[in-house]
Amino acid sequence: MLSRPVRIIGLLVVAASLLASVPLQAAAATGGTPAAPPPAPALTLESPSAILVEATSGQVLFEKNSHEKRPPASVTKVMTLLLAFEAIEQGRIKLTDEVVTSPEAASLGGTQIWLETGERMKVSDLLQAVAVASANDASQALGEYVGGSAEGFVELMNRRAQELGMKDTHFANPHGLDQEGHYTSAYDLALLSQAAVRHPELLKLTAVYDTTVNLGNRGKPVRLTNRNRLVRFYDGADGLKTGMTDTAKYCIVATARRGASRFIAVIMAAPTPTVRQTEITKLLNLGFASYTSVPLVKAGEPVGQPVRVVRGTLDRVVATVPQDFGVAVRKGQEKKVKTQVVLPPSVQAPLDKGGRVGDLVVTLDGKELARTPLVAAQEVPRATLLRTLWMTFTRLIRL
């Protein structure tokens, strides 16, 4: 009979051979743009470019020339606000920081709060001036502070646009005044706004209709009035931005929430402010009249069974969604929504926190409606060979 040490060595050899034969299966990588639910009644719009999406899933519920590249005017400032709030959340800047106005910021025309060169304003006051009054000088000053320079901030804007999948976009400034190489599309503005509405503090600012801020060195209060009249007159509206230049004409990105349903609508190049107001209202009305949002999973909530990790410091990792996820369906179809968790038998270490491990697929009447990535809830480093052999050995012993 074999001695105990010999038996243990034999088991380790078997473990090593089994480990070598384990197929290392990659996580499911299929994705794609969310499919639209059954079409709602058609709309006729005078504006040349428009889109309506459900805010959580990004499902396109209506579109008209949504990928046409156009100057966005002050709607640009949604990106400026997003980057500023992300910088605050990352601890790179603080609301109480004082920003010194540069000559470039003080010299900008258009809508402004009349900042003077060398004047100091807190980040919190600049954010209000950008979100409520759409002040170009405040946008420039804020961008310079977040990015280290205007050029540095524009680089951040374009990098973030790429991360968000904004393929029709290139930014050239933080404020939106007409400039060569400064353009985007209605579709891309909807993508940008999806990211923006995940920041409650940002929406609190864009929902303000009327307020005042103190100008830095002068200590003089300035009244700020929001040009997005929806936040005062449309039920549930809480953002985001209007814009107008001679080239861009009248643009708006708007969002509104009622109950669990939130929609984002975009109008670009409306010929008059009246047409812009009428048609953005039509889009939001279409959303609330025809569709309802179905919340499915909260960010961080475990989805499916934990996935086995090969050669990792942990045996298994929990799959979750990176952001709250849901879909929109025609009213009355809520109970027909089904979900399917698509996870591989195993994934290979090392695995980053947030690394994709699968998909959550949503179907309606058997057809795919939308999907979102499932990601690792925590980091799993690669185990050493000795630890891997030991984990395999203990697994065999349990068997």
Distances (CA, A) of 30 to 14, 263, 324, 342, 356: 36, 26, 20, 10, 10
Residues 6+ apart with CB under 8 A from 159: none
- 3-state DSSP assignment of residue 2: coil
Q: How far apart are CA 93 and CA 62, in angstroms?
A: 38
For residue 261, indicate whether it is catalytic. Answer: no
Query: Both tokens of residue 390?
Result: 């030991």
Residue tagged active-site, from 134, 185, 261, 346: 134
C-beta separation of 253 from 231 below 8 A = no
C-beta separation of 264 from 198 below 8 A = no
Residue tagged active-site, from 64, 77, 241, 282: 77
Query: Both tokens of residue 88?
Result: 């605050």
CA dihedral 128, 184, 71, 115 (to 10 degrees): 20
Distances (CA, A) of 164 to 159, 161, 173, 177, 278: 9, 5, 18, 23, 29
Residue tagged active-site, from 74, 139, 293, 346: 74
For residue 220, indicate whether it is catalytic. Answer: no
- 3-state DSSP assignment of residue 369: strand
Beta-carbon neighbour count of residue 187 at 10 Å? 25
Catalytic positions are 74, 77, 134
